[in-house]
Amino acid sequence: MKRLTRVLSMALLLALAAPALANPVDINSADAATLAASLTGVGEARARAIVAYREQHGPFRRVEDLKQVRGIGDHVLQVNRDLLTVNAANPPRR
């Protein structure tokens, strides 16, 4: 029983640490396939919506601006916040 508890504890620890080990995703340069593969709660349709919004409105200034995309709300932003980045090399065009 102790072994099972240790194994489950270790699995939980690894699951919680996984986002910190993942590569950051630049929402101003990632393509739809990368967004869909990297972000929790973002499938192909939402990923395409992010890219379309970015193409229409220009680069995101802040990670929080992602909520302007239809289908992206507080929950999706919250669970992915540690993975998301905005490349400062892209000047704002809005």
The answer to which of 6-15, 30-39, 63-72 has the lowest mean pLDDT is 6-15
Within-domain flag for 51? yes
Q: Above 70 in pLDDT, residue 47?
A: yes
Domain for residue 74, yes or no? yes
* Average predicted confidence (pLDDT) for the chain: 85
Its domain, for residue 81, covers 23-94
Bridge partners of 84?
25
Examine residue 14 and state whether it is found in any structural domain, yes or no: no
Q: Decide if 53 is inside a domain.
A: yes
Q: Domain count of the chain?
A: 1
**pLDDT score of 18 more than 80:** no
pLDDT of residue 6: 79
Can you say how many angstroms the Cα of residue 34 is from the centroid of all Cα atoms in its chain?
10
Q: Which two tokens stand for residue 35?
A: 């967004």
Residue 11 lies in a domain: no
- The pLDDT of residue 5 is 81
